[in-house]
Chains A and B, each alone.
Chain A
Amino acid sequence: MEIQTVWQNGVFKPIQPLRLKHMLVTIKVPDEEIADFDPANEKEYTSEPYKTTPVVQGRADALLIRMEQIHNEILALPEDQLPTVTDKQLERIRAMEMREDR
């Protein structure tokens, strides 16, 4: 089925009423419809499906910055200061490797 939707304030709105079985569907947008990035018009074209307050945004940023700091600190450590990984653990990790969770 092909339908038309209006792109308004970052949200697709179908022109005709539509009931879907699932929450997530894939919409194919022709490449020629994708606007080139233009900082001056960023607001007009950028999708804004959700909003957060500056406080939430600040806390979320702080959480990710903390995580980044941990990454940098751990990766700067010499190998002998890192946890020992046993063969048993490696076996378990390998068992998880097939999993696609991205």
Chain B
Amino acid sequence: MDLLLDVNIVVDICALREKFSAIAAQAVEQCILSGGKVWLYAGSVQTYDYNLRNELRRAYLSKGRQLSNAQCAGLSKATLIEFAKDKNWLAALSAEGNVFEAQDPEDEQFIRALDRLIPGEIALLTRDEQLLNKQDPRILSPEQYLTRRPEARPIDFIDLKGQQNDIRPALETGIHRVLHHGQYIMGPEVKELEEKLAAYVGAKHAIGCASGTDALLMALMAYGVGPGDAIFTTPFTFIATAEVISLLGATPVFVDIDPVTFNIDPAKLEQAIQAVKTNDGSLHPLPLTPNALPLRPRGIIPVDLFGLPADYDAINAIARDHGLFVIEDAAQSFGAEYKGKKACSLADIACTSFFPAKPLGCYGDGGTCFTDDDGLAAALDSIRVHGKGSHKYDNARIGINGRLDTLQAAILLAKFDIFPEEVTLRQEVANRYSSLLSPQSSRFTPDASLLTPHVPAGYTSAWAQYSVLAKDEAHRAALLKRLQEVKIPAAIYYPKPLHLQTAFAFLGYKDGDFPVTEDMAGRIFSIPMHPYLSEENQKTVANVLMEREEK
């Protein structure tokens, strides 16, 4: 549980009020130590300061020392700066402004602030009897807080709250600015973000769009993909990768994955292209086509699964040999690297997603296309705005409504400031998992072994997910059950390969067509992963996974 501090608690601690400072400090430190956040209310800044000055003057006078105005001001300033260092500031909203009709406007502001927060997740800490006598369970004295049974904080699969607390001032300022300038569509934040993203990945152009799915769709549209075109991709991915191919009337040709990286296998990709070119299904499983017409190889969409880039040297070489384009599905890999280059700069067009759970996620849907090609960039820019031309009402092509919202761009700008640091933190979390889950770890039984992710030399992962492989489906079910019993969240990405999903039944693929993918889908699962995952929580997860199975 978080705590919002009433003025008297802050004054108790900063002025070292004899009767009250100890218990107030204990309540505050208990909250921080148990993983809660301690909040100061931005609407009370002056009250914190002036009340503290008065209390300091009174307290020292009672000990026989008269403080000057400057000493009171200096003490108040220095103690408040120190106290606020590890606290969070809760913004005062306009709904908390017009409180003059209330019996106590200051108390009313705190109550209204509580009204917009989640009950049970935060309490107002005070020793003001008038507030405590309201019998509101959201209002606690330090004694009441300290006598509560401490709640166990659940382990989050993804911790967006921790991140939000770190960037709250920039986030709120950015959102507020958009609300005031009112350019909700293609506002200045979109351009600013695009420039920053392009510079970060080392691409010439970044074209923000409404989602990662739209990014893929726009990329295919920029190449004019349509019926009769074969687009090679992996069946071990989220449906968006292949869905956009079918939406345009083209045909996804699935290619099995590498069992170590879970990404498209370049050797099998070559076979698939040959099979399409010769229309020979004996070389590689091929999809059914309307009227059994042969397909024309057009492009490849490798997916950087879980944040690890695919093998682009090999893939791009194959594409060059066959005259195909390559679209990097970097929905999960923004922040990763491949042989000295950033993900999102590894193919003709790269597409990323800002879905909230992604390494760089917004608070809704968002995405971006990256390219070095001026012509493709112009096409993408046009497609995302209904195929706009030079005249607003003379559209040059068929496009989509695929713009990135200005509000989402403002959120992403705030998040982007700490993104490089978060990538490093994710790396540390992943390294710790790999060490904790290694066969050398204590209490490990060889027959319960898990395969941890492998990152080839020259690659880094953005660690969108930390996915491990169980021995078999039964082993995975047992491990997931164990995690569930102790309320540790886990997920399976992806339990059913695309070629076996109902939506793609029309392609005529069958069980056994892509054995590596099918094997992984039966064994893989992902455990909590985010930059703020503590070592203690990681040990808890690892211990549950590594415990000897009860006989």
Q: With a CB–CB cut-off of 8 A, which chain A residues contact B168?
A: none
Q: Which of A50, A82, A90, A102 contacts B147 (CB 8 A)?
A: A50
A23 touches B135 (CB 8 A): yes
Q: A93-B53, A96-B50, A99-B51 are in contact. Are A52 and B82 (CB under 8 A)?
A: no
A12, chain B: closest CB distance, angstroms: 13
A66 touches B71 (CB 8 A): no
Is A49 engaged at the interface, CB distance under 8 Å to the other chain? yes
Q: Can you report 9 residue pairs joining A to B where beta carbons are below 8 Å apart?
A: A22-B135, A24-B133, A60-B28, A63-B83, A67-B79, A70-B75, A84-B70, A89-B73, A102-B55
Q: A57-B26, A85-B70 are in contact. List 5 more A-B contacts (CB 8 A).
A: A23-B133, A24-B132, A50-B143, A63-B28, A85-B73
Complex Cα distance A54/B37, Å? 20
Q: With a CB–CB cut-off of 8 A, which chain B residues contact A50?
A: 23, 26, 143, 146-147
B143 touches A49 (CB 8 A): yes
Is A38 engaged at the interface, CB distance under 8 Å to the other chain? no
Is A59 engaged at the interface, CB distance under 8 Å to the other chain? yes
Q: A50-B147, A82-B71 are in contact. Are A93 and B29 (CB under 8 A)?
A: no
B78 touches A63 (CB 8 A): no
Interface residues of A in 82-98 (CB under 8 A from B): 82-85, 89-90, 92-93, 95-97
Is B151 engaged at the interface, CB distance under 8 Å to the other chain? no
B82 touches A59 (CB 8 A): no
Is A28 engaged at the interface, CB distance under 8 Å to the other chain? no
Interface residues of A in 49-72 (CB under 8 A from B): 49-52, 55-57, 59-61, 63-64, 66-68, 70-71
Complex Cα distance A5/B114, Å? 36
Complex Cα distance A96/B55, Å? 11
Is A101 engaged at the interface, CB distance under 8 Å to the other chain? yes
Complex Cα distance A52/B79, Å? 24
Q: A23-B135, A68-B16 are in contact. Are A63 and B29 (CB under 8 A)?
A: yes
Q: With a CB–CB cut-off of 8 A, which chain B residues contact A21?
A: 135
B82 touches A66 (CB 8 A): yes
In terms of DSSP, what is the predominant structure of the interface of chain A? helix
Q: With a CB–CB cut-off of 8 A, which chain A residues contact B54?
A: 93, 96-97, 99
Is A15 engaged at the interface, CB distance under 8 Å to the other chain? no
Q: With a CB–CB cut-off of 8 A, which chain A residues contact B17?
A: 102
A60 touches B8 (CB 8 A): no
Q: With a CB–CB cut-off of 8 A, which chain A residues contact B143?
A: 49-50
**Shortest Cβ-Cβ A-B pairs, 10 listed:** A82-B70, A60-B25, A50-B146, A59-B29, A82-B74, A85-B69, A96-B50, A60-B26, A83-B73, A22-B133
In this complex, what residue of A is CB-closest to B85? A66
Chain B residues proximal to chain A, CB less than 8 Å: 7-8, 11, 13-14, 16-17, 21-23, 25-26, 28-30, 32-33, 46-47, 50-51, 53-55, 67-75, 77-79, 82-83, 128-129, 132-133, 135, 141, 143-144, 146-147
In this complex, what residue of B is CB-closest to A66? B82
Q: With a CB–CB cut-off of 8 A, which chain A residues contact B83?
A: 63, 67
Q: With a CB–CB cut-off of 8 A, which chain B residues contact A51?
A: 146
Q: With a CB–CB cut-off of 8 A, which chain B residues contact A82?
A: 68, 70-71, 73-74
A63 touches B25 (CB 8 A): yes
Q: With a CB–CB cut-off of 8 A, which chain A residues contact B46?
A: 92
Q: With a CB–CB cut-off of 8 A, which chain A residues contact B72?
A: 85
Q: With a CB–CB cut-off of 8 A, which chain B residues contact A18?
A: none
Q: With a CB–CB cut-off of 8 A, which chain A residues contact B77?
A: 83
A64 touches B22 (CB 8 A): yes
A96 touches B51 (CB 8 A): yes
Q: With a CB–CB cut-off of 8 A, which chain A residues contact B16?
A: 64, 67-68, 71
In this complex, what residue of B is CB-closest to A75? B71
A60 touches B22 (CB 8 A): yes
Complex Cα distance A90/B25, Å? 29
Q: With a CB–CB cut-off of 8 A, which chain A residues contact B141?
A: 23
B71 touches A92 (CB 8 A): no
Q: With a CB–CB cut-off of 8 A, which chain A residues contact B74?
A: 74, 77, 82-83
B51 touches A56 (CB 8 A): no
Is A79 engaged at the interface, CB distance under 8 Å to the other chain? yes
A82, chain B: closest CB distance, angstroms: 4
Complex Cα distance A72/B426, Å? 42
Q: Which of A23, A64, A75 contacts B132 (CB 8 A)?
A: A23
A56 touches B29 (CB 8 A): yes
B70 touches A101 (CB 8 A): no
Complex Cα distance A46/B55, Å? 29
B78 touches A74 (CB 8 A): yes
In this complex, what residue of B is CB-closest to A95? B50
Complex Cα distance A74/B70, Å? 10
